[in-house]
Structure 1
Amino acid sequence: MSEIVVSKFGGSSLADSNQFKKVKDIVFSNKKRKFIVPSAPGKRYKDDEKITDLLFQCYNSIENKEKFIETFKIIEDRYIQICNELELDLDILSYCEEIKNTVYQNKSLDYIVSRGEYLNAIVLAAYLGFKFVDAAEVIVFLEDGKLNFDETQSRLYKMSLEYDYAVIPGFYGATDKGIVKVFSRGGSDFSGSLVANGVNASLYENWTDVSGFLKADPRIVDHPRHIEKITYKELRELSYMGASVLHEDAVFPVKKSKIPIQIRNTNSPMDEGTLILSDFESPKYPKTITGIAGKKDFTVIAIEKMLMNEEKGFLRKLLSIIEDNDISVEHIPSGIDSVSLIISDEELRNKLDKVIEEIRTKLNPDSVEVYPNMALMAVVGKGMIRTRGISARLFTALKEQQINVRMISQGSSEINIIIGIENEDFESAVNAVYYAFEQANI
């Protein structure tokens, strides 16, 4: 693996010329930072608009030429201001005119909303003195909109041999026919991960406006501790349970090649951030609990039937009902004569009555009960498997706050424990568990 660092900068990191200057200082402070992946400019202040949001407005007003031009002018002015304040000799207006002309001929949503990254990469490349490489040339999509991973990696590797330093816009790529395709919102994280894997990077940096991840949601816990290191598995568990971390797909390409990810803060570049690893390099990692996350608004469908365990195909029939109604299940706790489905309220919207009726008709259970208003809390930590008394400390903390536990689930890997509680107890439960482990320093 080469000594190459790929650095992705988010929208807040490139919102205006002052942020561009910070990015330049960061990039030039380490010669290993050779390939840079920018997002479109984000908000400069609370009531500001992101460039990508303005581009969506442009798409929605294509049929109203006057409105389109008015909105696009705001975008042009933003880039002109950045270029002027950075004293760049760059005719950014010519690129904007080219985009406008293309839009009138091609009304593709993906093309329009990806132009924020495209323009920002052109500006950043000019400012850094790096080569601009259009993502449409190296991020390859199939005609059905799926990523052509192998071809993408091949082109990125060839790019790394051709250029020592380059800026590649995030969020989009193109088919072999040149049709622009985008990833989902937040997809610049994925772009950065693809570039890191393709150029055989030794590190993928994700620069944003926070100094890494926190052990709990700061809206629930006052001043939660910062997470120094986390594994890909722990990250996945926390992300799935609602923690605001990385774009979910961003981990895949670098995880495959065991490339570490470091989350850094553009506004506090001296902060170490959070390092995401395939496994901890040091056995001295101090904490048992890495983080706590969770979500509210789940419903439990509890089904009981005598001798359920002897009825072949019962669970298959039950899950077929769920699948036929296009519903995803979070957890399936079960006993000898009972099984429960824990499903998010969003998944059950306008479907609950139909599902219950089908269960009664097709499975003939002794009883079907519905229990709404449940929250799920995940306590995640790779160190739990080697530490005794974790469950005892966890449930003691909940008991002391008089919080009733409605469900418990722990996977065989023992990397997490899922607790079901009442919606109204969620915040109290997160605080209780967080402080129980922090005060014990385990």
Structure 2
Amino acid sequence: MKKVVKFGGSSLADAGQFKKVGDIIRADENRVFVVPSAPGKRNSKDTKVTDMLIGTYEAAKAGKDVKENLKAIKARYDEIITGLELKDFSLDEDFKEIAAQIKEDLSLDYLASRGEYLNGKIMAKYLGYDFIDAKDVIFFNEEGMLNSYKTEKTMAKALEEHPRAVIPGFYGCGKDGKVKTFSRGGSDVTGSIVAGAAKVDVYENWTDVSGFLICDPRIVKNPVGMQTITYRELRELSYMGAGVLHEDAIFPVRSAGIPINIKNTNRPEDDGTWIVESTAQRNEYVITGIAGKKGFCTVLITKSLMNSEVGFCRKALQAFEDNGISIEHMPSGIDTMTVVVHEDEFINKEQAVVSAIHRNCSPDSIEIESDLALIAVVGRGMKSTRGTAGRIFSALSHAHVNVRMIDQGSSELNIIIGVQNEDFEAAVKAIYDIFVLTKL
């Protein structure tokens, strides 16, 4: 059995956390490939190294001297190196190279990636593993998307040559040959890419929580955890804001059937959450998770006999596409269609969109409503359980929450509910209570 292990920033924030990680890796000889993030916060008042690097970029872009910025960042790494007692090892040359790069070719992607790069070098030294620069094995195409074919082929060859290796997360090589990063949280994606290329048995993703919780602990105190979740459920929950795992981390392992195990660095004995393609195991609860976001608005388009007009929906949606606005959901009726969009994307373009819809479709009316929050109730058990939707709406009614929108996919895996922004937390609590606390 072979495993890829990815460790988040909180797991590598200081030397003490590094030692925990080292103990975890050495406790299982099957943990052969390691993907580290940049050092996270050591305490609530601290700053993540990646944020320090981004701040350095912004200062350099503004023409400011960044010597003190780099000095503060280097101090974070030197503290780790000293704490790990890594003699005859330093990052002095690396920081000279970073300083030179800032003067020669200032790049946000390059600077932001150095957090993982430098942490990877320390981790490789500490473990006695080989170091593989992600820039040499992960590639993006001209559109900035992952070049899966080239990446998998190159990565697989490199991993064959290095039986135990550290590969920094978060970045790769752009089409122009320069460093390019994933979106924030992209180290999860790197770990998944490594797992898929190496065809390992398990991808362990270590963080500061013992797996997925049914809902946000900032809303519900001490929510229960999930033992097993499918890729499809994870995709729905991640998209709607559940932040334990980057949503794009699913795809490289899903095609290979590799399970993901979310584990807690500070409680390694906990089972965590298993993310699998499919399972016969039944959850203790009907639902698997609740997640949501605030800040949406709806565009209600009304036209008599809309259903008999060929191409009406396409022409309406063209107005959003032409203005660069992505669409979240689109519940519809016989003579109505509702388009749900992010309010911050839409607000400055709303009249342009309305005018375009009138030109394209000649609707009877268009109504816009804002301050909408969307909540996704997700669970593979919902399909085989009668009355799930009724329980949700009963719980919301008892909590005096008005439902403004309902959208259920044909898979019956999730139900999307729209409520006022101000009712978001109350709605999540009400749904959690009826499915978890009372187990109805």
What TM-score do you get using the length of structure 1 for normalisation?
Answer: 0.93
- Deviation of the 1:85 alpha carbon: 1.6
User: 2:123 is matched with which residue?
Assistant: 124
Distance 1:122 1:373 in 2: 46
Q: How does 1:283-362 map to 2 (within 5 A)?
A: 283-362=281-360
| Aligned position for 1:279 | 278
Matches within 5 A, 1:8-27: 8-27=6-25
Match of 2:410 in 1: 412
2:297 corresponds to which letter in structure 1?
Answer: T
CA distance in 1, matches of 2:416, 2:63: 53
Residue identity opposite 2:96 in structure 1? E
| Unpaired runs of at least 5, structure 1 | none
Question: Quick one: structure 1 residues 142 and 324, their matched pair in 2 at CA, closer, same or farther if it must change by over 3 Å?
Answer: closer
Amino acid at match of 1:166: A
CA offsets 1:314-337 (integer angstroms, 9 cap, x no match): 222211112222222222222222
Structure 1 letter corresponding to 2:145:
K
2:282, 2:381 within 8 Å by CA — same for their partners in 1? no
* Cα gap change, 1:298 to 1:142, in 2 (>3 Å): closer
- Name the CA shift for 1:391/1:36 in 2 (closer, same or farther; >3 Å): same
**Using the alignment, how far apart are the partners of 1:377 and 1:31 within structure 2?**
42
- Report the Cα distance in structure 1 between the residues aligned to 2:188 and 2:107, rounded to whole angstroms: 23
CA distance in 1, matches of 2:213, 2:29: 29
Q: Which amino acid aligns with 1:78?
A: R
Counterpart code for 1:297: G
Q: Post-superposition shift, 1:65? A: 8.3
Deviation at 1:275, TM superposition (A): 1.1
| Distance in 1 between residues matched to 2:305 and 2:175, nearest whole Å | 58
For residues 283 and 184 of structure 1, the distance between their equivalents in structure 2, rounded to whole angstroms, comes to: 33
In structure 2, relative to structure 1, the CA distance for the partners of 1:140 and 1:344 (3 Å cut) is closer
Superposition deviation, residue 66 in structure 1: 7.3
- More off after superposition, 235-244 vs 363-372: 363-372
| Counterpart secondary structure, 2:270 | coil
- The separation in 2 between residues aligned to 1:178 and 1:192, in whole angstroms, is 22
**Gap change, CA 1:368 and 1:210, over 3 Å in 2:** same
Cα 1:306–1:177 change in 2 (3 A) is closer
Residues matched between the structures, number = 439
Q: Secondary structure at the match of 1:61?
A: helix
Q: Single out whichever of 107-116 and 233-242 deviates more from structure 2.
A: 107-116
SS in 1 for 2:250: helix
* Equivalences for residues 51-70 of structure 1 within 5 A: 51-62=49-60, 67-70=65-68
> 1:105-184 counterparts in 2 under 5 A?
105-142=104-141, 145-174=144-173, 178-184=177-183
Q: What is the alpha-carbon distance in structure 1 between the residues aligned to residue 312 and residue 174 of structure 2?
A: 46
- Given the superposition, is the C-alpha separation of residues 381 and 68 from structure 1 closer, same or farther in structure 2, using an over 3 Å criterion? same
**Identity over aligned residues, as a percent?**
51
SS of the residue aligned with 2:290?
strand
Counterpart for residue 434 of structure 1: 432
Aligned counterpart, 1:190:
189
Match of 1:80?
Answer: 78
Question: 2:218 matched to 1:219?
Answer: yes
Q: How far did residue 311 of structure 1 move?
A: 2.2
The alpha carbon displacement at 1:204 in A equals 0.8
- CA deviations on 1:249-305 (whole Å, 9 max, x unpaired) are 11111111111111111111112111111111x344433200111222322222222
Distance 1:28 1:353, change over 3 A: same
Residue 4 of structure 2 aligns to a residue in which SS? strand
Unmatched runs of 5 consecutive residues or more in structure 2: none
The residue aligned with 1:229 is 228
Cα distance change, pair 19–365 in 1 and its aligned pair in 2 (3 A): same
**Cα pair 2:293 2:373 within 8 Å, conserved:** yes
Q: What one-letter code is carried by the residue in structure 2 that aligns with 1:372? A: S
**Distance (Å, rounded) in 2 between the aligned partners of 1:107 and 1:332:** 42
Residue number in structure 1 paired with 2:369 = 371
* Cα distance in 1, alignment partners of residues 141 and 420 from structure 2: 45
Residues 26 and 269, structure 1, Cα contact 8 Å, conserved in 2: yes
2:196–2:253 Cα contact (<8 Å) kept: yes
2:182 aligned with 1:204: no
Paired letter, 2:70: F
CA distance in 2, matches of 1:101, 1:323: 42
Match in the other structure for 2:268: 269
Cα deviations by residue, 1:341-386 (Å, 9 ceiling, x for unpaired): 2222122121223323333444333332223222221110011111
Match of 2:247 in 1: 248
Cα deviation, residue 177, structure 1: 7.2
TM-score relative to the length of structure 2 = 0.94
Specify the code of the residue in structure 2 equivalent to 1:193: S
Question: Contact between 1:80 and 1:93, CA under 8 Å: does it hold in 2?
Answer: no
Q: 1:99 matched to which residue of 2?
A: 98
Q: 1:345 corresponds to which letter in structure 2?
A: E
Deviates more, 1:8-17 or 1:334-343: 334-343
Quote how far apart the aligned CAs of 1:178 are.
4.7
CA distance in 1, matches of 2:300, 2:266: 49
Task: Classify the secondary structure of the residue corresponding to 2:299.
Answer: strand
Question: Partner amino acid for 1:312?
Answer: V
Q: 1:50 aligns with which of 42, 48, 51?
A: 48
